Structure 1
Amino acid sequence: MSGLARDVAAFKTALHRQDYSSWHSQPPPLQSQGAGSSADISKSKKKRPKSNQVFSQPKDVGPGLEVNTRLVTAVNHLKSHGNPMRLQDLAIITETPLLTDKVLLDKFKSHDRVVYDPKTDLYSYRHDYNVRNKVALLTEIQRQTRKGGGLSVRTLKESWKEAPQAIEELEKEGEVYVTRTLKDGQLRMVFWNEIKPDEEHGGMQVEKEFNDLWHSLEVPNDVDLLKQLANEGLQATAGETLVPKAPVTKKKGKKSAPRQRQVRITNTHLKGQIDLSKDYAPPGK
């Protein structure tokens, strides 16, 4: 074999032994990397922290840009605050342009729930009931009960945050009656107790023994109740039953002539001078 043929065979053998697929997939040898290569690899393997931000929901943009929306924001904060406020403080806290927007300021001042005190230059919310202490609360409950109704505890709480605690104290003192919800026993309505709990006028709380005896009584059924009434010489009262009226049917036949309405003569001062029963209209009219 010539030297050229041997060189070609050796080149082909070396070509088949070479693996070109690893040139781009495998990392370069460690000798070619710098001293900080291991640190770079460890940093690249660290996971990125997950963000809790939900991009599908809009961000809080404040009280809004519409005038009525800003008005509601300012009035609601004035209501929840409870105490009078300066206009500057209200504008800063609610982030509303009450000082620069004339339209918003006019609507705020003319609101039926906003009260302005020119002496102190303060604004406050006008509640349904103006109570700030226990005495004023009891006076308002008495005034409303005399009208034949009670007061909502929820409405009173909006006027005075400590109203529920004061109502519970008045209940223990026997000054008011309170109705509660069946589910969680929360205060619902309050009424004034006109009968004070004393031995002279009554109103004392019934003892637990009598309460238990009262609730232990069972109402007999209708049959046993009638028997017991009969044994005592009594009888049950019958409920009033309404007799249905029969429908009015019109008789078929000739139609009756319309009744002539009698004319009342009011010009009595002309009696004897003019014949009022005579028609003085010219013929043809």
Structure 2
Amino acid sequence: MLFSRSHQVRAIKTLIIKFSTYYLGEIGSFFYILYKTFFWSFKKPFDFKNWLKQMVRVGVSSVPVVFLATLFTGAVIALETFEGFRRFHAENYVGSVVSLSMLRELSPVLAALMVTGRVGSAMAAEIGTMKVTEQIDALYALATNPIHFLIVPRVWASIFMLPLLTVLGDLTGIAGGYLVSVYIMDANPIVYEASTFQFLDLEDFYVGIIKAVFFGLILSVVGCMKGFYTEGGAEGVGRSTTQAVVMSSLFILLSDFFLTKILP
């Protein structure tokens, strides 16, 4: 019994050390890629054509999924809030709940998670494929830094486009709440519109935008990092793609908590 218990303790310690070492290594790799990205961001040549291409991939191509996700999220919030507030005769405040929830919290988080699943995974898969097929080694042979050529445009495209997708999410989420409240729950449209903007401040909008900037940075750096360190052929590419989505999503949710705590 004592041997069994001591064996279990050793196994738990080994597991803790293994996971701690792994995640410390991942955090170190993240900050290394982040440092190199900003270092090479100001080095010539500036490939604006590639930057524009990545902005279209991150932003324009993600509009449909962000639109649908935020539209129905706003609709669900309005539906659930209306049913709850009706018990206290506070239906007039549903618009305020929807608008504040979307601007400060749900639009940036949903946009980031949608882009992570769609674009962050593609970044990991694309760069990972280049790594296992030795195309990145070929870039070194051509005196081209792969971080400058591959990662910098993707990171800055995500930083620029996530706030724009968040603004789209704000509008569609509020619209979804309006449609449900007015046309399904029979709320007064004039009262709902007044309630929507009653408690909104400009800083509520800024909070969502600041979060979106950080989320765009996180998902792009993690996606590119996992692709850049891919090993093991096609199986390794699939593993890196999965890890990129999972790690980006976790980092986004963790950073969302701390940003919510820090920001006004």
Q: TM-score, normalised by structure 1?
A: 0.18
More strand, by proportion: 1
Of structures 1 and 2, the one with the larger relative CO (CA 8 A, separation 6+) is 2
More helix, by proportion: 2
Q: Larger Cα Rg: Structure 1 or Structure 2?
A: 1
